[in-house]
Each structure stands twice: as structure tokens, then as C-alpha cells.
Amino acid sequence: MKRITTIVLFLFLGMQLAFAQGKVITGTVTSATDGSTIPGVQVIVKGTTTGTTTDMDGIYNLTVPASAATLQFTFIGMKTTEVEIGNLTTIDLVMEEDLLLLDEVIVVAYGVQRKEANTGSVSVVSEDQIKSIPVSSPEKLLQGKMAGVQVNNSTGQPGGATQIRIRGISSINASNEPLYVVDGVAVASGDYSSMTSTGNQLASLNPNDIASITVLKDASAASVYGSRAANGVILLTTKTGKKGALKVNFSARYGVGDIANDNDYRVMSPDEIYGYMRQALINSGKDPLTYSLYETGDNFFASPTLPGSVKTYDWADKAMDKSIYKNYQLSVSGGTDKTSYYTSMAFTDNQAILFGAGLKTYSFRTNIDQKVSDRFKIGTKVSLSHKEMIDKPNDAMYFVNPFWASSNILPWELPYNDDGSYNFKLPSGANTNFLAADEFNDQWSKQYKVNGSIYAEYEIIPGLSFKTNNSLEMMFNESRRWWDPRSSPAGEEKGTLQINNNRLERYTTTNTLNYSKTFADKHLVRVLLGQEAFKHKYQTNYAQGEELGARIPFLSGATQALSTVDFGYTSYTLLSFFGIVDYNYEDKYIFSGSLRRDGNSKFGINSRWGTFYSLAASWNMHNEEFIKNYDFVNQLKVRASYGTNGNDGIGAYDQYGLYSSGEYNGISMAYPDEDYFGNPNLGWEFNTSWNIGLDFAIFNKVQGTFDYYNRKTTDMLLDLPLSRTSGYPSLQSNIGELTNKGWELNLTYNAINTKDLSIDIRANIAHNKTTLDYLGEDVDEIADGFWRRHRLGGGFSDYYVYDYAGVNPATGDAMWYDKDKNLTDKYSEANRVFQGQIQPKLIGGFGIDVFYKDFSMSTSFTWKTGHNVYIMENRYVQSDGFNWPNNQNSGLLDYWKEPGDLTGTPRPLVTNGTNSNAWGSSRYLQKGDYLRLKDITISYNLPMSILEKAKISSLRVYVSGVNIWTLHDVGYYTPERPINGGGYIVFPEAKSITFGVDVGF
């Protein structure tokens, strides 16, 4: 980071060491905070390129021309200070810390930029804010940390997918995920898994290698990424070596966790379900004394309570395990004047809270930068990773899914027979024993991944440099799913094996010319011209064999008649030309513009090329004389931007009319694929947005950022229904429109800042509203599944549910509102209403960081409000007897018991036919609001006095808690559901505590 900083300062100040006649000035620079000397401070004669830097002891020695009047001292993290030279020959300086980091250099599109000179809406988190939090992929670190960035864990599975929405949802049929750029290269993100329930390409990045994460939110910041920028861009920058002695860091972490279940969502206990089912018998007019649950005459419910002689088993306890997290890291970094390097390796073993599931990752990274000459620099960044995900079927309502099975199997149905063998007579679990499935079946994927890039940078003339960056991303994945015959009841003696081998290749070349020059000391101009080419190729090789024996569970035993093979292939290319122009007048008025032309093979011949642009201006009012008089104002900046970008997140071949191959009359033939009519006009969804923002800092204490934006999607892809006489049901066309409007506020308050104690308080809050403006001629609604609809003038995928009205106090049966808002006991008369929305009205986060001497504590909360979640699976586990005979969720225990009872839970009935648990009933639609203590870390740095004796340079011990506490009212373990609505049996998150130690040598 500092290395980049240095380069940029060189660039911006146009500094060159010059030699001239004059006097020699020397001095020492120290820090006001702790009195230590500061190496590497830039010391220049103001208004010239004459300057030097302080040495390891903070001492500088500079020959200045006789005309020199002022020295300027600059260092990152410190306030830039100017000193009149006058007759002085020794100038010692005490530099004050710049808590607001106005001079901080941040990573932006195709380069870096001083924060003060930036015009766009960007959010940054740095290493310090994320370094001790155990996560399986770096983007998960963003949760609650940035205004307007909604991070959704749609699964709590280690290595699982993350959904991120920056400023709302922009599309119905194309992608809504942001573009991820690692060290300047757009990388594969999302789920490329097969055989496992979830996957995440970003999980191959070691979170500890990340130096900073920048999120580009508005058009000014993101539009130079053109056709891929519509959903925002997330820039991840990895660590580089710093000039200085070799640094070795070792860290070890160990964590344990349990399911995060703050509302005690659970299956009924044996006594509870016995009583509940017995009550259902009585309610249904059956005699518990004579009712047979299993065999004729078993009279299972004869006793009023569960007899003590009946053996029971705690299925849920077995399904939900303790999570164990182990992580070891070693990094070595350092550098000389010419070379810097950073290399790391890490191993993580994360056993999940789901019985038998887990993730192991091995990752290696090497970043090297070499200065070949003053003008020529080359470097490489390589990461290697291996990832093994062991999974259990957990994404569907199957009884091999331990989550699901344990919510349904009756406790007196036991997993083992008396002789210790597996019991498959489990009528309430479809005769499937997930313990047997766990022992014998396989479900895993192993991924091998390489990301490598090489860059070269050459300064053609001062101020003008050429850079080329060429990268390769390659991923191999092998995966396997094996259903062993021994995991099923006897009689099904043959197993089935599926394997899939995938390969992903991505190549990118980025070539840029960068020119920057200051004219007349006042006009800083920067021009960047670039060209980029990109190719993406993904193929899958699938094979399945049936009726394999358990002894050799490989495809070698498969017969031709019972095997299936399949091959899948996707490729697309992108070719781009782009430019950025920045103009900066004395750091007061800053204008920037970008233009990009993208050609993308996904689009039809008539609309293959798209042009995207942005214009932005910012005014640093704090640099104006009339504001400078107000001392308490540290920063006051207004920003405005306008621009367009596009969304290419569609299928690679959607533009084509396609023929598939099939079979007719015993031989192969070709027939048109009804999803591919062919649309040579198929083009990008455009996103046009404007943003106004205000950055301020006052009293050197409070810093804030406010943004208001409006982004409109036009040419949104929708399926236009066709006359069936065309042979096709619909045609994907660029016809729809939607708008996201919102605001974001980010505040930090540096409450206390003394030598021993500092307290920072952070908070962010954001509001976004999505409105569907146009869905096609005469189209008011588009169904999205059974109980959600996209609605003209409404939100994205609004819930459209049967209006549940609770329980009739007289009868204990469910009631609904009918069309006239009257109560009815008949489900068939229930009215369907729009109720609630999937997107939160407000999202935010806040936290406190406390540093006291060698101790520190940081906390981060995240919250959302104003949205609803549909807990679809409760239709089955809170079914009022519909799922008979099955175990049920304890949420039913407040069921109606006698006339006059006021409750929302109907009385149980055997095989409940009242539709009280109907599909799409508002009964299972709940407020999704939550507040979660996402992470808390307490750490202790051993004092130098001890460290010196032990000959180590730093030692830090810490404990970090994740998801320690959640406040919510959702009838499920976790309040989060997939971000586009829907989802069921969501893999719950773990509540974990991790202990760590970091040692530096």
C-alpha cells in the first residue's frame, strides 16, 4: 500500500530530484503522537520538484536553491505541513497525525487516486478493519461496513455464495451481482460448483492477503468498466512488500461455534410431539386409545403422555454439529530499493455446523515488484489455491438432508436397530436414514485454481507511462456424488455415481497509457487511454453410472446402457477501448470524465458494441480561502456525477436462434430450442445514474459522507410473449425499465484520541427503493414463482399471498380475509393480496473501536429493516398435522386449545385438510428485520519490553466472535434469506468464537 502511495506521490507531485546551487537544510521529523522519528517523509521545496525523503532515522538533508521560500512535508497518515525557510538551516518538525486521511491514496478504476482528488462515490475498507475476522472469502467482510452495500449470506455454509447488491436491484432477468476486480483484473465470481449445494469462486482468495477493498458505487467511479459496471464494482487489492527488513508473520487461529439460533427455533421434544399428535387425534374425532400409528393394534397413543419405556433419539442434535475452525498463516515480506516481495501461505480447516460438512482450503500467494531501471518496472502476482468442500445434501427438502430430516423424523423412530445396524424403517423420514447416507455416500468437490498476472510499466517521458498487465485465471474442479447401496434399505442393492469435471479459463490483457502533468503549478491533468481484451471459457464434463456395486464405486463398472454423459460449454469474449480524463485545479475544482466502448460476443450482431461514459465534478470547498477561515471545518466537498454503464450478465448465447440435438424415430435429429428464437438486436441493459454527494469533516473529530442517487435501468431484458404461431413462446427483448433511488450516510466520530486511549465510532445507513417503471406494452404484472410478482409501479418481486387472518377463537380453525375483507373459514374464498417487500427499506451498520494502551476492541453490528421473508418450509414443519405422522416445529405449541383462545396457530388435525398451511399463505410471511452483532474482536499487543527479550517484533493475541447475538423475529434459525426472495432450508449461520495469535519476526 505504501509502495503504491509512494509511486503516486511521485506521479502527482511530478517530483524529480534536482540539483541546484543553494544552501543545505537538515532536520529530523518526529510524530506528535508518540515522539518517534518518521522515515520516508517527503520533503520538497514548495512549487518545485526539488526534494528528498527522510531516512530510517527520520533525518533529511536537502540542498535548496537560494530562491526557496517554503518547505513542504508530506507523509501518509500525517497532516501535510509547510514551514517558512527564512534563514533557517535546521528545520525539525513534529508532524501531527491526520485522522481524516484526506491524503490517503485509494484504489480506483485502473489506478489509484488521492481521496481528496476523487470525484466519484466510493467506499473503502482497509486491512485494519478486517484483519482478525474469520471468514471464508473476503467479500463477506463487507457486511455492515459500507453504506448502500447490501451483503447477504444466503447460506451459512463455509465457502458458500455471497450475494451483494450495491444500490438496489437493477435487473429482473440479467445479473445483479457486482463486478469483482482483483489487482486490476476482473475475476470469476459466483457459484461454479457442481455436486455441492453452494460454491464461491472468491473463496479461493485468502482474506488475509487483502490490503484494501474499494467499492465503486456511482457512474463516475464505475463507468470506465463499461458493460460490466451496472451493479457496481468491487476492487480487491492484495498486499505487497514494503521496503525494509524482512518481515515474517505467523498466525494461528482456533475457533468453535454452534448454530446461531437466537430465537430457539427447534423441533418438538418427544413429549411435545407425542402430546401434539395425541391432541390431533382427539380433534379429528379419533380414539387415541385404539389408534394405530404403525401396526394394527399398536395403540401407540393410549397413554396420555409418552411412556418412559419408549426409546427416543435426538435427531436434531445429531444433524447440527459444533463447528470447528482452524487456520494457520505464514507470510514473508520485505523489499529493497529495487525489489519488494510479499509471499504467503495459509491453511484453513472449517468443519461446518451441519453434521459431516466442511471446507478445507490451501492457498499460496507471491507478489513481486522489481524496478529494472528508473523508468522500467515489472512485477508479478500469482496465487495458487486448493479447496475441498465436503458437503451433505442440504439444499432441498429431501430426507438425506440432515437439516430437513431432523425436523421431520419422529423421535421414537430410531437410527439403529438393536443389533447396531442402520434402521431404515423410518416412515416419518421417507425410510431414509441420513446417518447411513453420511457414512456411505460421497458428496464433494475439489477445486484447483491459479490466478497469475505479469505487468510491465515503462516511463516513456516524464509524466507519460505505458503499462501492460496480462493475466490468466484457471480453475479445475472435480466433483463426485455417490449414492451407496448400503445407505438405502436392503433390496436396493445398486449404487449411482455422478462425477463432473469442470474447467474455467479466463484471459485478460489490459494496456494503458497514462499521462499526468501539472501546468503552471495549478492545473493537474491526467489522461489515461486503455485497451482491454478478455476471453472466458467454461466447460463441464459430466458422467453418470447406475447400478454400480459398492465394492468398486467408480464408473469403470458402469454399463453403457445405464450410463449418461454430458458435455457443457460456454465461452464469450469482450474487447474494450477506454479513456479517463481528470482535471484538477489546485485541489479545489476537480473534473473527471470517462468513456468506454465495449464489444461483447454475448450480444446480437446489431448491438454488439456499446458506448458508456461518465462526467463528474467535485469542489473541495475546504481549500477555498473563505472556508479556510473556519478552523473547525477540515473538509467540505461536494460531488456530482452522471453517467451510463451496462449489464452483460446474461447467457453467452442468448442472441442466437439455436437448434438442439435430439432423437426421433430411433436416430438423431435437430430441433429448434424453444428458448432461443434468435434476436440479433439483443443488447445490454443500460444503467443511467446520477449522484450528488457531500464529504465533510469537522473539528478533526467527525467525518461523514452523504450521497443521493438515482439510477435507472433501461432496455431491461424481459420475455416478450409471442404469438405461438411463431413456434416460440417468448422472445428475450430489451424492453423494461426500472429505477433505484436512495441515499446513503456514513459517519465516523473520533471521540477520544490520546496517547493511551482512542475511541472511534462508526455508523452507516442507507435507503433504497426499487420501482418497476415499464414491463412491456399492456403488461402490469409478471409472475415470479407462485407467491411473488413483479408489479408495474411496485417493487421487485412483491409478495402476493393469500390473506391469512389467524385462528377462529370459537373453532380453532384457520381463517382468511375474502375479497370484501370479511373473515372466512374457507381457504377457497381467501383473497390474494400484495403484502410486504423483499428488499429492506433501510440497511446499515455501526461499530465502536477502542484502543487502550496495548488492548483494543472493535465491534461491528449490521442491521436491516422494512422487508419480509417467506419461510416456505414452515408450511411442512408447522403444518397443523398436514405432515402426518411427522415431527413438527415447536412454534406450533401455542396452538388453539379451547374456545376463546386467541392465538395465531390453528388446532392440530390428523392429515389436516383445512389448508391452514396452504402454499403462498401470508401466515409464513414474516418481518425480516434484524440487528446482529456481526463481529467483535478483543486483542492485546504484547509490550515492546517483553518482545525485545523474546527477539520478536510483535505478538498479538485476540479473540474474535462472529454472529454472537442477533435480534430478530423470524421463525427460523437465521433471519436472512436469498436476496431475490424465495429460498428454503437456508443453511443457518454459525455463532462462533475464535482465538488467534499473530507473531511477527
Partner 1 sequence: MKNIIKILFVLMAFTIISCEDYLVEEPLTTTSNELTLSDFSGLSASTLGAYSPLYHSAWYGAGFYIISDLKANNAKSSPISSGRYQTNYSWQQDPSNTSGLWTRAYRTITYACNVLDELEAFELMPGEANQADVNHLKAENLFLRALSHFDLVRLFAQPYTYQPNGLGVPIVLKTERVSPERSTVSEVYAQVIADLNAAKPLFKASFNQEYRSGLADLKGVASADAVDALLARVYLTMGDYAQAATYATNVINSGNYSLYTEANYGSVWGTDAASEVIFEIWGNSSQTNAPYWAEIGYMYSPTGYGDVCASQDLLDLLASEAGDVRSNVFLEGPSNPGYFWTTKYPGKNGDRRQNNIPVLRLSEMYLIRAEARLNTGGDALADLNVIRTNRGLAAAVTITADDIFNERRKEFCFEGQIFFDYARLNKSLVRADEDGRITENKDVPFPSFLWAMPIPIGEMEANPNMVQNDNY
Adjacency order of strands within the sheet including 51-53? 51-53, 42-45, 70-74, 81-84
Contact between residue 516 and residue 12 where contact means Cβ atoms under 8 Å apart: yes
- Closest CB to partner 1 among 652 and 979? 652
Shortest spacing between CB 728 and partner 1, in angstroms: 8
- Closest CB to partner 1 among 336 and 571? 571
Work out the burial of residue 374: count CB atoms within 10 Å of its CB; fewer than 13 is exposed, 13-18 middle, 19 or more buried.
exposed
Please name which of 739, 956, 704 lies closest in space to residue 123, comparing C-alpha atoms: 704
Contact between residue 514 and residue 467 where contact means Cβ atoms under 8 Å apart: yes
- Closest CB to partner 1 among 382 and 658? 658
What residues contact 543, with CB distance under 8 A and at least 6 apart? 498, 499, 500, 555, 563, 564, 565, 566
- Closest CB to partner 1 among 212 and 514? 514
- Closest CB to partner 1 among 558 and 838? 558
3-state SS assignment for residue 945 = helix
Shortest spacing between CB 471 and partner 1, in angstroms: 17
Q: How many CB atoms lie within 10 A of CB 957?
A: 14
- Closest CB to partner 1 among 310 and 670? 670
What residues contact 215, with CB distance under 8 A and at least 6 apart? 122, 123, 124, 142, 146, 149, 166, 178, 232, 233, 234, 235
- Closest CB to partner 1 among 403 and 677? 677
Shortest spacing between CB 473 and partner 1, in angstroms: 18
d(CA 714, CA 107): 30
Phi then psi for 622, rounded to 5 degrees?
Answer: -70, -15
Shortest spacing between CB 508 and partner 1, in angstroms: 14
Judging by DSSP bridges, how do beta strands 323-335 and 339-351 pair with one another?
antiparallel
Shortest spacing between CB 432 and partner 1, in angstroms: 23
Residue spans of alpha helices (H) in 177-321:
219-222, 270-283, 315-319
Cα–Cα distances (Å) from 591 to 227, 587, 597, 619, 704, in that order, read: 23, 10, 21, 9, 22
Work out the burial of residue 93: count CB atoms within 10 Å of its CB; fewer than 13 is exposed, 13-18 middle, 19 or more buried.
buried
- Closest CB to partner 1 among 520 and 667? 667
Output the DSSP codes for 286-333: --TTT--SSSTT--TT-SSS--TTS----HHHHHB--EEEEEEEEEEE
Shortest spacing between CB 643 and partner 1, in angstroms: 24
Q: Is 890 left (phi over 0), alpha (psi -120 to 50) or beta?
A: alpha
- Closest CB to partner 1 among 556 and 725? 725
- Closest CB to partner 1 among 519 and 567? 567
- Closest CB to partner 1 among 516 and 890? 516
Shortest spacing between CB 674 and partner 1, in angstroms: 7
d(CA 328, CA 604): 49
- Closest CB to partner 1 among 455 and 861? 455
Cα–Cα distances (Å) from 130 to 207, 602, 761, in that order, read: 9, 37, 16
Contact between residue 466 and residue 458 where contact means Cβ atoms under 8 Å apart: yes
d(CA 886, CA 315): 13
- Closest CB to partner 1 among 533 and 698? 533
Binding site for partner 1 (CB under 8 A): 458, 460-461, 466, 511, 513, 531, 533, 567-569, 571-573, 575, 599-602, 608, 652-653, 656-674, 676-678, 721-729, 731
Contact between residue 129 and residue 144 where contact means Cβ atoms under 8 Å apart: no
Contact between residue 582 and residue 591 where contact means Cβ atoms under 8 Å apart: yes
* Grid cell at residue 631: 478552523
First to last CA, the chain: 20
Shortest spacing between CB 590 and partner 1, in angstroms: 29
Shortest spacing between CB 513 and partner 1, in angstroms: 8
Shortest spacing between CB 510 and partner 1, in angstroms: 13
Shortest spacing between CB 511 and partner 1, in angstroms: 8
Output the DSSP codes for 20-76: -SEEEEEEEEEETTT--B-TT-EEEETTSS-EEE--TTSEEEEEEETT--EEEEE-T
3-state SS assignment for residue 117 = helix
Shortest spacing between CB 579 and partner 1, in angstroms: 13
d(CA 181, CA 675): 32
- Closest CB to partner 1 among 639 and 790? 790
Shortest spacing between CB 531 and partner 1, in angstroms: 6
Shortest spacing between CB 665 and partner 1, in angstroms: 4
Shortest spacing between CB 644 and partner 1, in angstroms: 20
- Closest CB to partner 1 among 432 and 655? 655
d(CA 130, CA 104): 18
